[in-house]
Amino acid sequence: MTGVHSLLPAGQPGLLVSPVFGAEPYRGVEDLARYLAAGGYAPLTARDRFLDLIAAVGLRGRGGAGFPAAVKLRAVRDAPGRPVVVANGEEGEPGSVKDRWLLRHRPHLILDGLRLAAAMTGAEHGVVYLSDPRAEQAVRHALAERPAGPRVVVVRTDQAYVAGEETAVVRRIEGGPALPTAKPPRPFEAGVGGAPTLVANVETLARIAVMHACPDVAPALAGAHLVTVSGPGGSAAALIEVPAGTHLKVPADLCGHGMAEAVLLGGMFGGLYGPGWTDLPLDHDALKAAGRALGCGALHFLRPGDCPVALATEATAYLKAQSARQCGVCVSGTGALAGTLAALARGETGAGPTQQLRRWSRQLPGRGACGLLDAAARIVATLLTHFPDRLDAHRGSGCPDCTDEAPDDGRRFAVPVP
């Protein structure tokens, strides 16, 4: 199964009814007339009341961290200076397509969300930040035909895992490289040009725009998530909107992954999960309690017989290659994790390196300027937790999936945009 699908109560697979996807998701780029007919760009008459609604329904950011959207909006609004708002569409995670799909197909929805965020924070200047050429074309066309609103510019960057991190976004907008900077200050304190800056994921802005047009369904919209489902080599890939608390087995069954041995949860950030993955709910708090993370909502499944050690080896090799190389601990940490895991995967080591991996996976999180090192450590830690027997089986003799040099370009996890 490919394409986009909604599992919201109003719809069913194959018969899409979703305010976020729109009524006609396969008709190409949504133009202004269609968006206005759906209630778009309506005046915001009570910005504080609308912000209270966002807080009341518990909308969280969809960039990966799941931070409460209302808290972030209020922090930017209340900081001294004239704010800047940024629609962050740089989808560095190779297994995710939700942001590119929204920018390509519903650019007015994103611009409307940016307009509302500007009104709630008092910003007069907005930026759409992206790396996808087709998305850029759609956004520029939508900007040319939209109604009057805040001044908005488009800034394009090169796709990279760290390029969407909020301080990297600010740095690139200001003309520098898309690499993270030390914190504090956070962008909400001092971002673009030193002004308080809201860096909001495009799905977050899309949900804000839909909530404004359809306030009666705001609670359901706030809890739902766009998830990208895929398997080896992008097989059985789909972009699915799931209601809050949906168990992982539901989208897996829909895409033919119901018998999977394991899942890489939340893209690179959430880690591996083995037996019992079917009962995991797609909910930030529930996953955090289980020591996992939803991240950007990318779900990569392993078929029965696929080697989780090979997957972890490729993931850590990719993260090592994507390091910004600004933090010594990240350079050495990702290198140690990837190199040791690769040697172990090829059957070249004994029991000692397993203990090293266990120690590093506990010591490294939180020591880098961004979440890349944390992601690498979590992948290794969860491999050790869920598949210790598979690691033991590699000692002294590798397996067919692990004998070749692991590619570091993320090709295993890449998914085509529907």
The per-residue pLDDT for 400 is 72
pLDDT band at 350 (very low <50, low <70, confident <90, very high): low
The per-residue pLDDT for 22 is 85
The per-residue pLDDT for 120 is 97
Distance CA 320, CA 328 (A): 12
Q: Which domains does the chain have, with CATH numbers?
A: 21-221 (3.40.50.11540), 224-302 (3.10.20.600), 308-413 (1.20.1440.230)
What is the rounded average pLDDT of the residues 370-375?
Answer: 91
Distance CA 298, CA 92 (A): 12
Distance CA 240, CA 297 (A): 10
pTM of the model: 0.94
Q: What percent of the chain has pLDDT over 90?
A: 62
Tokens 């969809």 sit on residue: 62
Residues 6+ apart with CB under 8 A from 290: 280
Residue 288 has pLDDT above 90, yes or no: no
Residue 14 has pLDDT above 70, yes or no: no
Give me the half-sphere count of Cα atoms (radius 13 Å) on the Cβ side of residue 107. 24
- Taking residue 14's Cβ as centre, other Cβ atoms within 10 Å add up to 10
| Joined tokens for residue 399 | 């397996």
Region of poorest pLDDT, from 37-46, 72-81, 236-245, 287-296: 287-296
pLDDT band at 12 (very low <50, low <70, confident <90, very high): very low
Most confident range (mean pLDDT) of 60-74, 162-176, 285-299 is: 162-176
Taken in order 212, 216, 220, 222, the sign of the CA dihedral is positive
Q: Which tops the pLDDT comparison, 110 or 22?
A: 110
The per-residue pLDDT for 2 is 62
Distance CA 227, CA 414 (A): 14
Q: Which tops the pLDDT comparison, 329 or 234?
A: 329
What is the rounded average pLDDT of the residues 158-181?
Answer: 95
pLDDT band at 283 (very low <50, low <70, confident <90, very high): confident
Q: DSSP labels for 78-106?
A: HSSS--EEEEE-----TT--HHHHHHHH-
What values do phi and psi take at 215, rounded to 5? -60, -25
Distance CA 294, CA 298 (A): 8
The per-residue pLDDT for 17 is 56
The chain-wide mean pLDDT, for the chain, equals 90
pLDDT band at 130 (very low <50, low <70, confident <90, very high): very high
Distance CA 42, CA 39 (A): 6
Bridge partner list, 361: none
The per-residue pLDDT for 188 is 94
Burial (CB < 10 A; 0-12, 13-18, 19+), residue 247, is: middle
Residue 91 has pLDDT above 80, yes or no: yes
pLDDT band at 289 (very low <50, low <70, confident <90, very high): confident
Sheet holding 84-88, edge to edge: 151-156, 125-130, 84-88, 197-201
pLDDT band at 11 (very low <50, low <70, confident <90, very high): very low
The per-residue pLDDT for 165 is 94
**Helix (H) or strand (E) run with residue 130 in it:** strand 125-130
Most confident range (mean pLDDT) of 61-65, 149-153, 411-415 is: 149-153
Helix (H, G, I), strand (E, B) or coil at 364: coil
What is the rounded average pLDDT of the residues 387-400?
Answer: 79
The per-residue pLDDT for 398 is 63
What is the rounded average pLDDT of the residues 335-355?
Answer: 84
What is the rounded average pLDDT of the residues 18-33?
Answer: 85
Helix (H, G, I), strand (E, B) or coil at 136: helix
Residue 263 has pLDDT above 90, yes or no: yes
pLDDT band at 351 (very low <50, low <70, confident <90, very high): low
